[in-house]
Amino acid sequence: MTHLDRSIAVRRGRWAVAAAFFVNGFLLGGWALQIPSLMSRLAIGETTLGLLILVLGLGALVAMPWCGFLIGRIGSRPVLLALAFAATPGLLLVALLPHVAVAVPALFLFGAVVGGMDVAMNANAVSAERQLGRPIMSSSHGFWSLGGFAGAASGGLVIQQFGNLAHAGAASLVAFVVVALAARHVVEGDRPVETGRQKLRLPSNPLIYLIGVIALLSMIPEGTVLDWGALYLKQELGADIAVAGLGFAAFSATMAVMRFVGDGIRGRFGAVATLRVSSLVAALGMAGAGFAPGPAIAILAMAVAGLGIANMVPIAFSAAGNQPGMVAGTGIGIVTTMGYSGILVAPSLIGFVGEHFGFAPIFAVLAVLLCIVAMSARLARSADFSASLDKG
């Protein structure tokens, strides 16, 4: 393969992994729309639904480290393709669930496939970054946000006109077509370095767990705005329902926009400086939301927080995937598991604290945690790389 051919192949691979991010977000956006009909069909309440959502999350958390191990054995490309194709009929499976007893294993499997795909596509994005010699992780996560928006926005209209089963079938078809078109262009990942009959084992490098803490502290604020932002605006700041929903909308919009420009910022200023400034901006936004005198200031503060948080997790994933002596999938599997465990566990704890003390102090505490990320930014210096680091 000539240099020109290789350059074209790598650029196509960059868009192929972007398509994988889009499909993953698209399926999860569609899943959110299937929840009301799932509750009605299974005749369950909010408590049972919460447990089913927890099962889905547990499936993802169980699969993530195993997927990282598998990538270490055979590379990110085959793992990504297998899981991407396996994920495409997921919404159709959800739409056909007849009973809670069937829903439990089915949602665990759906969560495992989508969560495993998350690890594989991030590992493949790291490989594409190395081969391109420039960062693409932030914009890849931007495509995930775009997919989530597309899945939620278009799906609502389809369900309203044709029902949930038609939506699930159409979404599964769209996901399959996108994956099929992108599949041949997915780049080869790291050459596996784990040979022989290796057992699944945790990495011994403590730095990978510290990067996991950065991912955890970056994702808890995102989950807080998602799960509790509207309730905080309504109950504590007196916003009506329509205004209360604008908090997460503003947060999501600024986060998506910043993710598409984040790679250029990181390429110019470096991962450490970008993470440090991003976390301080996020801290300012969360503190502003906590001390806001009214809903308008709080919504503006949440938008500022979205600007900061946008590039924090992508940098943590790039840092995890570029650890010396470690396959990208192994590091990303650990960091993804730690980060998403915060999304799974933190909301219930935050809800308990908020019920007794209000949500304003929680936003202030999260601002302090984000300042800790700023002080720890040098831990992510491995996110900076050059083309010479390409192992693929």
Does the CA dihedral 246-252-258-261 come out positive or negative?
negative
Distances (CA, A) of 334 to 65, 152, 319, 340: 6, 29, 12, 10
Q: What is the pLDDT of residue 386?
A: 43
What does the pLDDT average to over 244-273? Answer: 87
Closest listed residue to residue 216, CA positions, set 72, 87, 342: 342
Q: How confident is the model at residue 3 (pLDDT cuts 50, 70, 90)?
A: low
pLDDT at residue 378 above 50? yes
CB 118 within 8 A of CB 84: no
Q: What is the pTM of this model?
A: 0.79
* DSSP per-residue letters across 116-181: HHHHHHHHHHHHHHHHHTS--HHHHHHHHHHHHHHHHHHHHHHHHHH-HHHHHHHHHHHHHHHHHH
- Which residue did the predictor score with more confidence, 270 or 328? 270
pLDDT at residue 245 above 90? no
What does the pLDDT average to over 151-162? Answer: 79
Q: How far apart are CA 223 and CA 217, in angstroms?
A: 10
pLDDT at residue 317 above 70? yes
The dihedral over CA atoms of 299, 244, 39, 155, expressed in degrees to the nearest 10, equals -60
What does the pLDDT average to over 294-310? Answer: 94
Closest listed residue to residue 391, CA positions, set 105, 128, 93, 102: 128
Query: What are the tens digits of pLDDT across the range 211-229?
Result: 999 999 998 988 788 767 8
**For 87-96, 242-251, 312-321, which range has the lowest pLDDT when averaged over its residues?**
242-251
Q: How confident is the model at residue 131 (pLDDT cuts 50, 70, 90)?
A: confident
Closest listed residue to residue 124, CA positions, set 288, 13, 262, 238: 13
Q: How far apart are CA 353 and CA 93, in angstroms?
A: 36
Q: How confident is the model at residue 383 (pLDDT cuts 50, 70, 90)?
A: confident
CB 275 within 8 A of CB 373: yes
What does the pLDDT average to over 343-370? Answer: 83
Q: How far apart are CA 253 and CA 247, in angstroms?
A: 10
Q: How far apart are CA 194 and CA 198, in angstroms?
A: 7
Q: What is the pLDDT of residue 103?
A: 92
CA atoms within 13 A on the CB side of 316: 33
Q: How confident is the model at residue 46 (pLDDT cuts 50, 70, 90)?
A: low
Taking all residues of the chain, what is their mean pLDDT, rounded to a whole number? 85
Tokens of 26: 């698209």
- Which residue did the predictor score with more confidence, 173 or 46? 173
| Gyration radius from the chain CA atoms | 20
What does the pLDDT average to over 289-314? Answer: 93
Q: What is the pLDDT of residue 361?
A: 92
Q: What is the pLDDT of residue 18?
A: 94
Q: Whose structure tokens read 């769209």?
A: 174
Query: What are the tens digits of pLDDT across the range 178-203?
Result: 999 999 999 886 655 544 455 556 67
Q: What is the pLDDT of residue 4?
A: 66
What does the pLDDT average to over 356-373? Answer: 92
Q: What is the pLDDT of residue 295?
A: 93
Residues 6+ away with beta carbon under 8 Å from 26: 147, 148, 150, 151, 171, 174, 175, 178
Tokens of 116: 């495993």
Query: What are the tens digits of pLDDT across the range 319-337?
Result: 988 887 776 677 888 888 8
Q: How confident is the model at residue 272 (pLDDT cuts 50, 70, 90)?
A: very high
Query: What are the tens digits of pLDDT across the range 70-110?
Result: 888 888 899 999 999 999 999 999 899 889 999 999 999 99
Does the CA dihedral 90-152-299-316 come out positive or negative?
positive
Q: How confident is the model at residue 255 (pLDDT cuts 50, 70, 90)?
A: confident
Q: What is the pLDDT of residue 73?
A: 84
Closest listed residue to residue 18, CA positions, set 122, 133, 151: 122
What does the pLDDT average to over 270-294? Answer: 95
Highest mean pLDDT among 25-34, 52-61, 108-117: 108-117
What does the pLDDT average to over 117-139? Answer: 88
* Maximal CA-CA distance, the chain: 65
Q: How far apart are CA 286 and CA 363, in angstroms?
A: 5
CB 224 within 8 A of CB 366: yes
pLDDT at residue 177 above 90? yes
Q: What is the pLDDT of residue 388?
A: 35
Distances (CA, A) of 268 to 162, 274, 278, 308: 48, 9, 14, 17
CB 358 within 8 A of CB 236: yes
CB 185 within 8 A of CB 12: yes
The dihedral over CA atoms of 35, 40, 46, 51, expressed in degrees to the nearest 10, equals -60
Highest mean pLDDT among 74-78, 232-236, 294-298: 294-298
pLDDT at residue 389 above 60? no
